[in-house]
Amino acid sequence: MIALLQDPVRRRLYEFVAAQGREVGRNEAAEAAGVARTLAAFHLDRLVAGGLLEAGSRRLTGRSGPGAGRPAKVYRRSPGERGVSVPARDYRTAAGLLAEAAEAAGLDVEVRDAARRRGRALGGEGPCGGLDELAEVLAARGYEPVPDEGGAVLRMRNCPFGAVADAFPPLVCGMNLALLEGLVEGSSGVRVRMDARPGWCCVAAEAVGPSKNNEH
């Protein structure tokens, strides 16, 4: 699985397709990776064979009927998750069990408190300045941030807590928000808030104007 992404061209193609969050045609991917269409097609199909991408077909022109041509092959990221740990570890089962117990015991507030403390520790380098800086931090933590609303808001395409968040949304999304609240604590330029939408991480970050900072 890792070996699949060792080739730099293949890796660029994978990262491009994953970052679009939609189906991507061969031409578009080839252009983005700066390689010929046939080479892109070869690598894209290898990524499909390896389970990292899914392939489908679509008429990219939007036309149908005679003259519309053959549907083009399109690619998108496979929804499955891949984890690698050497030697083998099973943090996912541990996380699921702990979440199940915390849910049953009603420990939402305690989990949030712990998450906020952890967030503060992670942000220990000093408060991040603006959304761009926060985007880098979030990207490094796997959130796949994307600017929205003309760059005023940052939304996250990936939930790093995936399966556990799906199983216990109020508990784990609350934990996630508190973690990020801790991370941006002390920052005058950004804040985070709950903004759950289908297919996105539950939290959004936004820039805070200077006028609001003067309030505290």
Partner 1 sequence: MSDHTPASARPASTRFHLAQFNVATLRFPLGDPRMAEFVAQLEPVNALADAAPGFVWRLTEEGEPDATGMRPAGDDVIINYSVWESAEALWDFVYRSPHLETMRRRREWFGRHADAHLVLWWVPAGRTPTVGEALERLALLRDRGPSPRAFTFASSYTAEEAAAAGAAGAGAAGAGAASV
**Piece of the chain touching partner 1 by CB under 8 A; list 87-95, 131-139, 171-179, 205-213:** 171-179
State the angle between helix axes of 108-122 and 169-184 in degrees (0 to 180), rounded to the nearest 10. 30
Q: Which of residues 174 and 182 has its CB atom nearest to partner 1 in the complex?
A: 174
Which residue from 44, 53, 128, 177 is in contact with partner 1, where contact means CB under 8 A? 177
**Phi, psi torsion values for 24, nearest 5 degrees:** -125, 135
| In the complex, least distance from residue 123 CB atom to partner 1, rounded to whole angstroms | 21
Q: Which of residues 66 and 199 has its CB atom nearest to partner 1 in the complex?
A: 199
Cα 164 to Cα 147: distance, rounded to the nearest angstrom:
26
Q: Which of residues 50 and 169 has its CB atom nearest to partner 1 in the complex?
A: 169
Closest CA to 149 of 204, 190, 70: 204
Which residue from 50, 127, 160, 162 is in contact with partner 1, where contact means CB under 8 A? 162
* Contact flag: residue 170 with partner 1 (CB under 8 A): yes
Which residue from 36, 94, 101, 105 is in contact with partner 1, where contact means CB under 8 A? 105
Contact by Cβ (8 Å): 72, 58: yes
Which residue from 36, 109, 121, 152 is in contact with partner 1, where contact means CB under 8 A? 109
Cα 199 to Cα 195: distance, rounded to the nearest angstrom:
12
Q: Which of residues 39 and 107 has its CB atom nearest to partner 1 in the complex?
A: 107
Cα 57 to Cα 196: distance, rounded to the nearest angstrom:
30
**Piece of the chain touching partner 1 by CB under 8 A; list 131-139, 144-152, 172-180, 184-192:** 172-180
Q: Which two tokens stand for residue 150?
A: 């003309």
What secondary structure does DSSP assign to 136-193, as a single string? HHHHHTT--EEEEGGGTEEEES--TTHHHHHHSHHHHHHHHHHHHHHHHTT-SSEEEE
Residues that bind partner 1 (CB under 8 A): 79, 104-106, 108-109, 159, 162, 166-167, 169-170, 173-174, 177, 194-200, 202
